[in-house]
Structure 1
């Protein structure tokens, strides 16, 4: 089990490092009530909650000449489960959401 946590952490770090460079622009209201354009990071994949409430992440990363894909599964009770659920903004069984890049540590 410890090995799977280490491998999961390595996969997430690698995908985060590669995908954290891609940004898109989204409007944000500033203190003067006007709208300014600020960068918003591109999603790094999707998160889906299964009927048993486990979370499946399908992650991807692309850079010049390279692409990486990973599918990670977090059953209820996994030490990372709550952090993943919070990061994607909550999920209900059957729901799928985009996964924003994980913050750099």
Structure 2
């Protein structure tokens, strides 16, 4: 499942979650890996088409190993496309300016 998170850091920020709850990335079942890979490929294709093949960073957010019970946590992948450059407001205040609200980005990507 891919979402455009509320209060995104950048325009077209996306997060992909596996459908089955798992706290840790390394505990994902083989069939869930295939579904997750399909969602990742689909999301990256849409971002490539809409943003004309942007550079991006991605991060896997997972519960730490061997440090207790993290059943409440749901691991996910965060994708941050490079859609703009830091300018005066961002550099001077540390506040990120997002030119497209996540709701609008999600609606746009659904149509692609």
TM-score where L is the length of structure 2: 0.26
Which structure shows the bigger proportion of residues in strand conformation?
A: 1
Structure number with higher relative contact order (C-alpha < 8 Å, ≥ 6 residues apart): 2
Which structure shows the bigger proportion of residues in helix conformation?
A: 2
